[in-house]
Amino acid sequence: MAGFLLSGVLLTAGLSPAHAQSASCTGIAEWNASTIYSAGNKLVYQGRLYQATTSIWNTPPTHCPSCGYYQDLGACSAGGNTPPTVALTAPANGASFTAGATIAITANAADANGSVAQVQFFRGGTSLGIDTTAPYSASWANAAAGSYAITAVATDNEGATTTSAAANITVNAGTPDTTPPSVPAGLAAASVTSSSVNLSWNASTDNAGGSGVAGYDVYRNGTLVGSPAGTSFSDTGLTASTAYNYRVRARDNAGNASAQGAQISATTGAGGGDNTLPRHALVGYWHNFTNPSGPTIPISQVSNDFDVIVVAFGDDAGNGAVSFTVDPGAGAEAQFKADVAAARAKGKKVVLSLGGQNGTVTLNNATQVANFVNSMEDLIRYYGFDGVDIDLESGAGVYHGAAVQTNLVTAVKQLSTRIGPSFYLSMAPEHPYVQGGFTAYSGIWGAYLPIIDGLRQELDLIHVQYYNNGALYTPYSQNGLAEGSVDMLVGASLMLIEGFRTNNNTGVVFNGLRPDQVALGLPSGPSSANSGQASSATIANALNCLTRLQNCGTIRPQQAYPTFRGVMTWSINWDRRDGFNFSKPVRATLNTLP
């Protein structure tokens, strides 16, 4: 699934053996799965210095020593990178303020053997801002009453971080707050399906010196249906072709509530999307190729525990068109088509995936869009597929400003119209392309968000890949969340359901999806990915946290999402080779969810 080589060059020389020599690694960053390395770039991995010989990413130097992707320059000599130093200079520990004040926060930071890349300031786990130049500072406006721990996190040019000692401060309420927040404005139905309405509105403000806005109350036809902390809400379980009226009011931390804002009306659709998935589904990728997991297997031999079989992969036929050729291991073409039909007859979804580690499709103009739509319609109808899975990333040039961001949306909408209401659409981008937009919103970071937003009404399921890309930064913690942890799986899912503001809370807002449109994306075992494996117990805890608010880690949702869809894995074939070590326990957990 993840992208490896970006160039088409296949090298035959192995890593240059430099085990007897030492190398200076000062100023050289550690290998990062998300970094794209060009030929000549240097990096440090497991205490050794390497130099890339070709354009490459997501592939550590030890992955294939005989491939010659890197030159080994030797072991790092003593005295590697020294983390930066950082200390808060304001506010002072123990300082007191009055509610509504603007609190200035400053820090000194230095790096002994490099430079300070940034200093990020936090109020507990909430970011207050990032400063990349000295003197480092941020401000907290309209501070609400309470006790808080203020910290600063410095990052140097090699990625090392240091957290300052906390300054514990108190914000006093002063005179009692009896003034409600402003009435929420801008209420709108951001998207509507046959069973849900996704609402968004503008943030309210509290009075100067007030206790601060605590959250909102959402009313449907006069009845309270939700109390989110943010400015969006997904109202689910609705009846198709029905009009609903909505109003929203704001609450502050002192218990004051505003009047309800202007009423809007939203009507659910008559259908649309796919309503035949199980309430909690297991999705797996099926190999149309031979690799170390073994040869291709017929579709008829896929474990019955899988609800969605994603066929990996369609091929780039040039100029936007897509082709597909059945691997001989899956049987003759007629047998493959019969197996697909038999799986669908049992209620399974069988979907053709576009992408993978070498996947490329070019969508730069209207001709290529037309070729894409025509070829995909032909493949779906010929083989009997339910629809398409989008796993296009670096190979298709998905980055901010690229034509594919808009043309892919156009193409899939046209394809959905041609196939009709039964059309199934899923996506499986890597997390830098989605939740990575919280950290930065340029290049590849968050580049899938406009695509997801543009196709949210057609989208049946998104299962972001939470592996091979390292820790994930979220609005719920000041630290990166480790791959394979309950907190990462829950935090990443909440970002998709509740939405988030990009570029470290300073950019555009991504409005959340319905919980039933979201699933976890995980490797099936130790050989199917370089990193990101999660134990069966961890997966069960994450699913129970999301659906029941049970067995959570440090991140706990504000509400349960019992319709959270399920889990995707790479892959069916690796799972089969490993004795169904993933599918059996995960299926058992899914069967117990509400």
Count of CB atoms situated within 10 Å of the CB of 347: 10
Q: Helix (H) and strand (E) counts for the chain?
A: 9, 31
Angle subtended at Cα 509 by Cα 507 and Cα 512, rounded to the nearest 5 degrees: 150
| Residue 29: other Cβ atoms inside 10 A | 18
User: 68 — phi, psi (to 5°)?
Assistant: 75, 25
Answer whether 160's CB lies under 8 Å from 30's CB: no
Exposed / middle / buried, residue 16 (Cβ in 10 Å: 0-12, 13-18, 19+):
middle
Which listed residue (393, 430, 458, 498) is catalytic? 393
Helix axes 486-498, 536-548, angle to 10 degrees: 40
CA distance 100 to 111: 35
- Per the annotation, the verdict on 483 as an active-site residue is no
539 touches 528 (CB < 8 A): no
205 secondary structure, DSSP code:
-
> Distance (Å, rounded) from C-alpha 363 to C-alpha 491?
33
User: Which tokens go with 402?
Assistant: 């690229």
CA separation for the pair 592, 279 (Å, rounded): 11
Q: Which amino acid is at 37?
A: Y
Residue 495 sits at the vertex; the CA angle it makes with 228 and 212, to the nearest 5 degrees, is: 40
Which of 534, 588, 593, 537 is CA-nearest to residue 564? 593
Let me know: does 264 contact 198? Beta carbons within 8 Å: no
Helix (H) or strand (E) run with residue 290 in it: none
> Which residue numbers are catalytic?
393
